[in-house]
Amino acid sequence: MPRHKGDHEARRRDVSGAVWRVLAARGFGGLTLRAVATEMGATTGLLTHYFPNKQDLLAHALTLLDERRATRPRRVAAPAAEGLAALRAALLDILPLTPEAAADNRIWVSSWDAALADPDLAAGHADRYGRSRERIRRHVAAAQGLGELPSGDPDDLAAAIQSFVLGLIVQALLGAEAFPPERQIRLLDRYLAALTTPC
């Protein structure tokens, strides 16, 4: 049978689907060519056609994570919110408040080990989290413009807010019983309330 571009694209989707399922089940630590091949019912040899080495596979997995984050519907609706309300909605949307959000975050957290072990992946992650801080910074600047947050370096404030949320995600994933959704929301709201008071 002749091989068409459509076949290739369909196979790429199959591969991406298998990569995603392995990530969801085992995290980056369990993401190997063999695991993806087994998930697809294919040979490792076929996989090396797509990913000549482990780093290519990890890079592809991070790209899938980016695409998923960019295209998934928001979990927390924020129809007409701006300023502090938009910031709060964006942060709630990240926190592991639902099983789906916990699964996504679990994959992101597990990617840090892979990134710290590889300079190229680490540079990609530095960019990713820099862009994430930039998104938060825009909300902070808008809230400052509305008089909802005191003035002050919005870059530092964005970095502080991202710190708080990332650390809350880590603790909630590692200790789900101690961090039910209502506690995560309470902690976030108290943190934001402390920010709004000019201290």
**Sequence-ordered list of residues with C-beta below 8 angstroms from that of 50, at least 6 positions apart, any chain:** 12, 15, 56, 60
Measure the CA–CA gap between 106 and 170, rounded to whole angstroms. 8
CB of 12 to its own copies, least distance (A): 25
- Number of alpha helices (DSSP H) and beta strands (DSSP E) in the chain: 9, 0
Measure the CA–CA gap between 85 and 11, rounded to whole angstroms. 42
Does 20 bind its own copies (CB under 8 A)? Our answer is no
For its own copies, the closer of residues 20 and 164 by Cβ is 164
Q: Tell me which of 11, 166, 181, 185 binds its own copies, using CB under 8 A.
A: 166
For its own copies, the closer of residues 46 and 144 by Cβ is 144
| CB distance 128 to 69 below 8 Å | no
Geometric angle at alpha carbon 62, from 113 and 115, rounded to 5°:
25
Does 29 bind its own copies (CB under 8 A)? Our answer is yes
Does 177 bind its own copies (CB under 8 A)? Our answer is yes
> Which residue, among 101, 110, 97, has the nearest Cα to 73 in the 3D structure?
101
For its own copies, the closer of residues 146 and 174 by Cβ is 174
Q: Tell me the torsion sign for CA atoms 85, 73, 120, 173.
A: positive
Site for its own copies in 41-100 (CB under 8 A): none
Q: Tell me which of 22, 101, 140, 165 binds its own copies, using CB under 8 A.
A: 165
Using CA atoms, how far residue 110 sits from 25, 41, 42, 164, 170, in Å, is 11, 25, 25, 18, 10
Query: What single-letter amino acid sits at 49?
Result: H
CB of 188 to its own copies, least distance (A): 9
Site for its own copies in 101-160 (CB under 8 A): 106, 109-117, 122, 125-126, 129-130, 133, 156, 159-160
Does 26 bind its own copies (CB under 8 A)? Our answer is yes
- Residues in contact with its own copies, counted by CB under 8 A, come to a total of 51
Residues of this chain that interact with its own copies (CB under 8 A) are 26-30, 106, 109-117, 122, 125-126, 129-130, 133, 156, 159-160, 162-171, 173-175, 177-179, 183, 186-187, 190-191, 193-197, 199
